[in-house]
Amino acid sequence: MKTRILSGLIMLPLLLLVYFGGPVLTAACFFIGIMGAREFYQGFAAIGVKPSYTITCVAALILYAFDLFVEEGAWYIEACRQLWFFGVIAASLLYLFKIEERQLTDAMATMTGTFYVVFFSYHVTLVEQTGEYSGLVWLIFLTAFGTDILAYFTGYFFGKHKLCPKISPKKTIEGSIGGISGSVILCAAFGYFFFEKLLLHCIAIGILGGIISQFGDLTASIFKRKMGIKDYGNLIPGHGGILDRFDSVLFTAPMVYYYIALVLAS
């Protein structure tokens, strides 16, 4: 527990990346995407699956190149992203052409890693590009980390009833409720002090984020169980690898972006 707390405190300065935003945050998201994919594929390697890390890195470079070379709001940006989806799927299938060396699971794992890790994390930059709502990028991390932190301590001190024992034996219903509460409290405080006109929306995002971030955490746990590993890496003491720390963000980032796109900006 002490190691986990100290590691969490060490990670707090990373929030400066969100504060500076722009190219700094974009570069950080790109780094998390490719490093997270690397850890993800190492997990697949443990069960004999060989996805293409090269395809994923090239796909990440192309995806983030949109932010550098395509004018914000350009009419053809959505067509570019659809073409990107097609390119990832096509490249993953072409990867199978060495039919004697590769299995269908290698292509499926390549697609999964690229979409799940790279594309999901890319939504952080998409939120920052929403104009007047760009400041809501903070909610991505407040929901994810607020849920994780309060769920941990609530579960540690009050947890009695198992949530999903076959997926994550230590998680409890009490911890889950505490995690949602933590997300709502942080998002409500953020809305009150910084986006008072959007306070109710911040609370709504806090509720959704508290639930969805736990889905992200449990999804990562399912992958690790199927891969037979405890953590994706050991970069952060007490937390594991990059993907262990940001697994919830992979789900909360798209949630915040689509909430803005479908509710606030509609």
pLDDT digits (tens, 9 = 90+) for 122-150: 999 999 999 999 999 999 999 998 998 89
pLDDT of residue 15: 74
The 10s digit of each residue's pLDDT in 73-91 is: 677 888 888 999 999 999 9
pLDDT of residue 183: 96
Cα distances from 51 to residues 47, 56, 118, 261, in angstroms, run 11, 9, 14, 33
In this predicted structure, the answer to whether residue 18 has a pLDDT above a threshold of 90 is no
> Which residue type does 250 have?
L
* Average pLDDT of the chain, as a whole number: 90
In this predicted structure, the answer to whether residue 230 has a pLDDT above a threshold of 90 is no
pLDDT of residue 142: 93
**pLDDT category, 3, cuts 50, 70, 90?**
very low
Contact 250, 216 (CB under 8 A): yes
Q: How many domains does the chain have?
A: 1
In this predicted structure, the answer to whether residue 6 has a pLDDT above a threshold of 50 is no
pTM of the model: 0.91
**pLDDT category, 236, cuts 50, 70, 90?**
low
Name residue, tokens 């037979």: 228
pLDDT (average), residues 34-63 = 96
Contact 1, 238 (CB under 8 A): no
pLDDT of residue 74: 72
**pLDDT category, 11, cuts 50, 70, 90?**
low
pLDDT of residue 75: 74
**pLDDT category, 7, cuts 50, 70, 90?**
very low
| Structural domain span for residue 54 | 2-264
Contact 139, 209 (CB under 8 A): yes
Contact 183, 143 (CB under 8 A): yes
The 10s digit of each residue's pLDDT in 152-203 is: 899 989 989 999 989 988 899 999 999 999 999 999 999 999 999 999 999 9
- Ramachandran quadrant class, 238 (left: phi over 0; alpha: psi -120 to 50; beta: rest): left
In this predicted structure, the answer to whether residue 16 has a pLDDT above a threshold of 60 is yes
